[in-house]
Structure 1
Amino acid sequence: MKKRYFIIAQITVLAVEAVLLLCFALWDADSAQDAVAVNEVLQSVESGWGRLESHERRTGLNYVVLDGTGEVLFRTDTGLSESVNRAVVHRDTILDIENAGLVVGKLIVFNDSAEILESGKRAMLLAVLAVMLAQWGICIAYGMYLDRAVIRPFRQLKDFARRVAGGNLDIPLEMDRGNLFGAFTESFDIMREELKKARLAEAKANAEKKELVAKLSHDIRTPVASIKAASEVGAALAQSGRIRENYGQIIRKADQIDALVNNLFTAALEELERLAVNPVDMESGELAAMLKSADYFGWAQIPPIPECLLHGDRLRLQQVFDNIFANAYKYGRNACQGEGGFQGQSAQGSPWGGKINVTMRREGQCLAVCIEDCGGGVDEEELPLLKEKFRRGSNAGNKEGAGLGLYISDYFLREMGGELLVENGEKGLRVTVVIRQSGI
């Protein structure tokens, strides 16, 4: 409504300005003298010729009376034309004064059209300025209205958005329903209420998820404990060393599952950064058991391990090796089948001494464990992406996986002060686990 009034006022003012400017451009002062008034002046001068010292001015015209020699006999004001030549230049009216049929002098009636024009221009200019001031006043008033009706509400929306982004969903957005943006601001407040409901629902869902994780972890521990107990009994009763070793492998994996289940209380899979990493000092020789546990198909030969004191988390290092060997099995399975079979058969006759090549070397103050499969590797441009969350190489095909193994391993090693390196090797992907030595 106010916008319509503003437009109407502006159109009216502009129309008045246009009319004034048009009048100013077309108006011209009439330079013609009033013939009746001029004749009246002439008759009064002729009738009183010879007695001009007592001549009275009867009209509003200014004039000068000259005798035959050009001398001034009478003037109504100063600054008038006092000669015929000057009168011609000024476009004054020049008349002959006759007495007894003879021309005895000249009557010069002053032409005041220029003064009238100048006076009219000043009046017109003042009128235009007054209209412009009125226009500016309307614009200022409308600007103040826009500031109150538009700019201030948007500033309130800005502050409101900042509060919402900061997590403050309790303070409502004050609004004037009669405002131009009343419905708009109301929608924002509805959004705040919905966000608050969603936040509460999310908190409730997280609480339920934690409760579910607690229940599942309890349910998982029970069968794992049973498996471990049965394996311990089987290992004690086994007559063959090979069988006892298999039972020992089951026991170790059961212990690892039990340790991993404990993590479910503190983090879910999508919140990996919350998983605790607690590095301690450990002998490098412990890596042999970890590698053997991870290589449950026996595809690799464990090389001699340089003796040193490492700084690492045994549980997390076991997860790192498990992830790397699982990838090697997954992506190198078909290629390695031609090198001595698959499950349960080690490739002692292969050029590597195994289907997975494991080497170790000391690099400065670290121990590097290199594990290379025979799956052919990945494209060079994909190598930097393999350690990102949910990223897999183009060779993944239809193989199952979430793209989290190397991401998790890289996170664990960084928390231990180490590093995970991924590159293409001689026959496949080479993953190097760099473990920091203790005291560094």
Structure 2
Amino acid sequence: MSSHANAASSQADGVSSHANAASSQADGASSQADGASSQADGASSQADGASSQADGVSSHANAASSQADGASSQADGASSQADGASPQADGASSQANGVSSRQRRIISADGASSQADGASPQADAASSQADGASSQADGASSQANGASALLKVSHTWRAGLMALWNSGITWTSGALWGPAAPPSGPTPANTKPKRNTMPRDKFYPALLAEQPEWHNNLAAKFPLYGPALGFTPAQINNAVADNLYLAYALGDWITRVREFGPAATAALKDLRTGTGNDPFTFTAFTPPTLPTLPAGVTDVLPGALDRTFGLVQGIKGAPGYNEGMGLDMGIVGSEITPPPPGDVPPPQLTAVLLPGDDNQYVRLKFIKRGHEYVVIESRRAGGAWEQLVQSNKSPYIDERALLVPGQAEVREYRARFWDDGKPSSDWCGVLIVTVGP
């Protein structure tokens, strides 16, 4: 009997060892499950943070947050199951250690071993559930990160901006690389209002008799404005010399030459067919005295008039130049006063019928001939004249509808020039056009 008891005790000790091993395995499974739960909780926190960033952006971020919350719940449940498995394994070990030499204790030890064996699969299942929860949390975090990227794209798109190369937006995000700030808006090509000015004559006199005075005036006035316009003393002196010589040549010199012409012709006639005993002598030409050139200038080269015209362009393009200076120096022509009505021919007006939407249109063509505007009036059905347009661009198209839809009508047109806010010619002859539907 003692031998059976000893054998039973040995078996119980072996069962206890197996139970202890099972308990250790269950404890290890519980630790792994706890670690998996911690990782899942961390993943859930990251997913929750990503979800907060992406919250309100799109349904993707909301779905990611829901999956992450579900994954956290599954991980917490897995941790609870693993924690529950550990006390069962510990209880199994205690039962196995308390087995005595009696057969009844052997049976108890066998039951404890069975309980420990049952606890180990539960711990394994808990660990598997925790691993699955961690994987789901990782997937939720990835979806939340994607939602955060969508949030960046959405903010970028709503702000009207394009993504920069360093903004974290990838080529697959749908955003375009570009400037960080929107353009300030279209800039008008020219916002300066066009000034209505009277037409002017050419600044250089056409009559030879007026040209010397023009050159003398420029030679006297240019030194007054030249320094302020950025011209050097040498440039000013050379320009003065050019104009003094031009005034001399076009004035006194050419006058003296022309006066000498008849005397030279008479001398030549006397030489050829003259009579008398006195020796023949050529008539001497005495030119007028040359003008005094500015200091430092000893002579003038050919091309003085071309240089003067180039100087005028340079003066008008210089910073600080104004029209008052130009008028004083004579490099701006005088205004042309438009003639009173009746003194100039009226404009010529022609009409061509065009197909329209509901009825025919009338294209009226004119030529301004240097005037500011052309005023066109029309009347129909014996009514009063009414102004259609004051235009500076030809043609004008009359797109008016018929007085009676579907019924042809006769229209009369007339035009005249308009300058400086008032008429500058008489009306042209009345142009009669029949406009059909």
Is the TM value for this pair above 0.5? no
* Alignment TM-score, normalising by the size of structure 2: 0.28
Whose relative contact order is higher, 1 or 2, with alpha carbons under 8 Å and at least 6 apart?
2
* Alignment TM-score, normalising by the size of structure 1: 0.28
